[in-house]
Structure 1
């Protein structure tokens, strides 16, 4: 696919932490893109292995400038805050997010740039825009696990409404591209941000600026040290039920539903609309009936009957945490 005149400058931001085993392969994929980035910006989160040494090696041997941000503080930031730091340091009109351990198709950037150009033609570049794609799953050795992350998860990535995204994230950061307007509106991340890609998706969703590419553009590596892995939704459901039964049920339920609700509340408090923010606040009512009727009025739903039923059962069973 040729993007011709629609090709514009982009950069890649990559968060690393103890990624020595895989980071070389990821960097090679980025440097061999059919449309190369103007810069690879990396923030390491206090790796204890040789990740930083590998990054220094590539700084000396890459045709694309590689900039390594200095360490910040004495403790690890975690993935979400590390990506926030990278986005704060980014400068290009378009930004792609990279994990340290995946394998990109060599035309990934070209395809996402093309989708971004189409989205800009429809909505304009002044809106917060984000394009994302499906992913294949591979194991630590690169062997195929699943041809589609979204199908494995039982997700419907075309659901791009603000509250739909708020209830169920469908955007995987390492398979996405965002424009400068989205970066600027998303920063700074609130304390309630659960995942960097989920927060970015909310920002773009409010502007109606999400677009989805059905075909995978990369291979998403699954291994023991993944921050966020891909567990099939049926297994995920069984694990959550087991967690409720085996431990303090109320505490587990609160932890399951509260973070996402709090993240949306923080977004609405910042960006509005104010009437929706006021209605959303009723989900913390002490009255089970008020919580239930509010959720129904808002039309809240997750992807699939079982997820949605679980959410409503949890909301009726206990009041979400307020912080």
Structure 2
């Protein structure tokens, strides 16, 4: 199996992106390793996005299809529904306002021939539009290499623009039936969190410590680059834990229901090991909740001590102590009477 035997489709979810999409498409079309197709799913834009994409498609050296949704889907479903149309062996999510390094797909393709790779992720450069400042955004990637299944925190995600994944991941479970997002609980889990969850369960992840996309920071970003807190003032920590508990329990059910053929497509998938991994994470969340439902400061502190002794604050993927979680739980206890 060689690099040339693997193909890549690029999927772009667009909505009122006329200010940036021309530059983005040029950086995708001119890749040194050409994608076999570019699919732009427009979510009922009210600006000139569709017209700009059509004008570029008319002269593009890469097949470029634009699909205008019948109704506004939101970026989560827009990305995933568009990805179902892709024909490539691998699919690259692409945001409408980014700029790709011209060798992004060439760098990624070096890992596509490895049979156990389920997804490839990379670092980025974060560009603040207001200041022009460019900062490397590592996403925690320290070096280029391959990680085995279940190497990440159960709730970790990589930003969608940095993910290239095997198309088969889309067909492991019904995307319309996916569980609630633990970050935005009133929505189904986001496209990137869904793919990272499935990808790390069934196969290896290739990490590239290279900034292969310039990620713009501007006023209309839906999410930042991870360096800023998005917690609302006065957020409810018990409700937040409940959201994580609910999502994690649902993750376990998704793993239980993965089809038997998963082991054939992804030989490294170990259903029992994966279920145990997420069950440990669920147990930790439920034990941490006991701190927050304690009726007094002493009871809360004692719950923290029990959790420390019971290994609740040790991450399930690295067995490292979560000092921030301990500090957060103790801080909450300090507010109790």
Q: TM-score, normalised by structure 1?
A: 0.76
Aligned to 1:320: none
Aligned residue runs from structure 1 range 271-310, under 5 A: 271-272=255-256, 273=272, 274-275=275-276, 281-282=282-283, 283-284=285-286, 287-288=290-291, 289=303, 292=307, 293=310, 295-296=312-313, 299=316, 307-309=324-326
Instruction: Tell me if the contact between 1:167 and 1:261 (Cα under 8 Å) persists in the aligned partners.
Output: no
User: Using a 3 Å threshold, how does the CA distance of structure 1 residues 69 and 34 change in structure 2: closer, same or farther?
Assistant: same
Please give the alpha-carbon distance, in whole angstroms, between the structure 1 residues aligned to 2:142 and 2:333: 27
Q: Which segment is superposed worse, 191-200 or 156-165?
A: 156-165
Structure 1 residue 49: Cα displacement: 1.3
Please give the alpha-carbon distance, in whole angstroms, between the structure 2 residues aligned to 1:61 and 1:142: 34
Alignment partner of 1:115: what SS?
A: helix
Please give the alpha-carbon distance, in whole angstroms, between the structure 1 residues aligned to 2:223 and 2:251: 22
| Aligned residue among 119, 128, 149 for 1:130 | 119
Aligned to 2:91: 95
Provide structure 1 residue ranges, at least 5 long, that are not aligned to the other structure: 318-323
Aligned to 1:50: 48
Aligned to 2:23: 25
Please give the alpha-carbon distance, in whole angstroms, between the structure 2 residues aligned to 1:21 and 1:278: 45
Please give the alpha-carbon distance, in whole angstroms, between the structure 2 residues aligned to 1:303 and 1:57: 52
CA RMSD in angstroms, aligned pairs only = 3.5
Instruction: Tell me if the contact between 2:38 and 2:63 (Cα under 8 Å) persists in the aligned partners.
Output: yes
Instruction: Tell me if the contact between 2:91 and 2:166 (Cα under 8 Å) persists in the aligned partners.
Output: yes
Aligned to 1:174: 161
Instruction: Name the structure with the higher strand share.
Output: 2
Matched, 1:268 2:252: yes
Matched, 1:230 2:204: no
Matched, 1:165 2:156: no
Instruction: Tell me if the contact between 1:13 and 1:96 (Cα under 8 Å) persists in the aligned partners.
Output: yes
Number of equivalent positions: 290
1:160-210 residue CA offsets vs partner (Å, 9 max, x unmatched): 7637332332x2221221112223225425032432112211111112421
Provide structure 2 residue ranges, at least 5 long, that are not aligned to the other structure: 182-188, 257-271, 292-302
Alignment partner of 1:53: what SS?
A: helix
Larger-gyration structure (1/2): 2
Alignment partner of 1:130: what SS?
A: strand
Instruction: Tell me if the contact between 1:26 and 1:102 (Cα under 8 Å) persists in the aligned partners.
Output: yes
Aligned to 2:184: none
| Aligned residue among 175, 179, 187 for 1:191 | 179
User: Using a 3 Å threshold, how does the CA distance of structure 1 residues 300 and 116 change in structure 2: closer, same or farther?
Assistant: closer
Please give the alpha-carbon distance, in whole angstroms, between the structure 1 residues aligned to 2:331 and 2:77: 29
Alignment partner of 2:31: what SS?
A: coil
Instruction: Name the structure with the higher helix share.
Output: 1
Please give the alpha-carbon distance, in whole angstroms, between the structure 1 residues aligned to 2:41 and 2:332: 38
User: Using a 3 Å threshold, how does the CA distance of structure 1 residues 57 and 133 change in structure 2: closer, same or farther?
Assistant: same
Please give the alpha-carbon distance, in whole angstroms, between the structure 2 residues aligned to 1:113 and 1:316: 50
